[in-house]
Amino acid sequence: MKRSIWITFFSLALTCGYNHVPKTTASEIGSVASNSCVAVGRFISIQGKVQLKRQEWSDYHPVTVGTVLCVGDSLRSPKDVRAVVHCVAPEQDFWTVPDGMVSSAVNGCRPPKEPIHTITGPLIPTRDPLARNIPYIVSPHRTWLLNDKPKLRWQAVSGATSYVVHVIGPGVNWVTEVSTTEVVYPGELPLKPVAEGYLLVVEADNGASPAKATFALLDSNKVTRVRAAAERISKQNLSGDEKALALGDLYVGKGLIAQATEVLEAAAAKGSQTAAVYYMLGDLYARGELFSQVQENYLKAFQLARTAKDIEGQAAAAARLGEFYKALGKPDQASSWLKEAKEKYKLLKPISH
């Protein structure tokens, strides 16, 4: 595998900031949507009613668990209300929003000193969404890893009875054949944090084209820092969803897409009722073009946001669904969801320009 290819994959994934709505979608639903958020944190616990005002909003609106906090945001927290924010910068502690006063977001969470990875971006398919005879790789795919013995996962292929799995890279040319859709890399040929990274190839016995994905290991110093940050999160008195959101943000920020996916999948499997869990999963699956999972999770995010009366959450999920259906060549469904997003953003009463 050429190093230039590997660098291309990761340069696409490494950006600074966080967008509520992808640029291509925001342009279609008009100026009602925010597209300039630089994330500094995320609400992971709220006891009571806290209100948020973004720079482009004319008024305050209720906050729900999972809401992203941006540079320029203001918070209004009544007396005896407790809200906790997980700051994006991994060296920062959790921020308990002061009650009985108005606070600025950056008073509690500073912008990160280094650029962070994000997962929200235009959904542009490079493969046929209807092609189901290829064992598309679920994980690891365009991700850094902490673990040198990762679990390798792919989608099942109808009619296939076995899969040949290759891991190729500096000093490694490993191959095995399995009848399942996952296998743990055993590590006899050690994976190392090399610049070139590794190529994963999975081929079904149905004669179809193989699936391919790239991944790499973080260097030991970065692994130590990430594990320390994860340990701080684990020691907090958090619920399952709260911990999943905090760890998910930590891992995504460091490009550890596989780890973030595993954490959020576990929360969803336990019946999470937090819209942000499914929204993040939708974005993670979108990176791997796992279309059925993308649709399922954005729909779930929209439904839960509607139940929670979270206007911004509904708007964001609807916008992503609109982009999803547009990418799949379904203009009627795309138009319907983009209209839904536009109407929801209007309810936020944005400042006219």
Tens digit of pLDDT for each residue in 111-131? Answer: 888 777 777 777 777 666 666
Q: Which helix (H) or strand (E) holds 73?
A: none
Computed on alpha carbons and rounded to an integer, the radius of gyration of the chain in Å comes to 21
Across the range 286-297, mean pLDDT stands at 90
Q: Which amino acid is at 335?
A: S
Predicted pLDDT at 158: 87
At residue 125, the pLDDT reads: 72
Q: Where are the alpha helices (DSSP H) in 31-125?
A: 105-108
288 pLDDT above the threshold of 90: no
On the question of pLDDT at 10 being above 50, the answer is no
Output the pLDDT for position 18.
27
Q: How far apart are CA 222 and CA 98, in angstroms?
A: 32
Amino acid at 279: Y
Residue 21 pLDDT > 50: no
Distance of alpha carbon 70 from alpha carbon 106, whole angstroms = 8
Digit-coded pLDDT (tens) for 213-270: 999 999 999 999 999 999 999 998 899 999 999 999 999 999 999 999 999 999 999 9
Q: What is the pLDDT of residue 341?
A: 96
> How many helices and strands in the chain, by DSSP H and E?
10, 16
Q: Please check whether residue 84 is in contact with residue 66, taking contact to mean a CB–CB distance below 8 angstroms.
A: no
pLDDT at 130: 60
pLDDT at 352: 55
Task: Count the residues in the chain.
Answer: 353
Instruction: Kindly state the average pLDDT of the residues 30-45.
Output: 71
Please name the residues in contact with 87: beta carbons below 8 A apart, sequence gap of 6 or more: 40, 41, 93, 94, 95, 108, 109, 110
In tens, the pLDDT along 39-50 reads: 999 999 999 999
What is the separation, in whole angstroms, between the first and last Cα of the chain? 49
Q: Which two tokens stand for residue 112?
A: 């990160």
3-class secondary structure, 101: strand
Within 10 A of 213 (CB to CB), how many other CB atoms are there?
21
CA gap 224, 111 in Å, rounded: 22
For 274, the 3-state DSSP assignment is coil
> Cα dihedral angle (251, 257, 260, 261), rounded to 10 degrees?
180
pTM of the model: 0.86
Highest mean pLDDT among 124-133, 331-340, 344-353: 331-340
Instruction: Please compute the mean of the pLDDT values over residues 92-115 and round it to a whole number.
Output: 90
| Pure H helices in the chain | 3-13, 23-29, 105-108, 220-235, 240-253, 257-269, 275-287, 291-307, 311-327, 331-346
Q: Quote the pLDDT of residue 175.
A: 97
270 vs 287, which has greater pLDDT? 270
Position 351 scores a pLDDT of 57
State the pLDDT at residue 241. Answer: 94
Read off the pLDDT of each residue in 63-79 and give the average, rounded to a whole number.
94
Each domain of the chain, given as residue ranges in start order, spans: 137-217
CATH 1.10.8 holds for 137-217? no
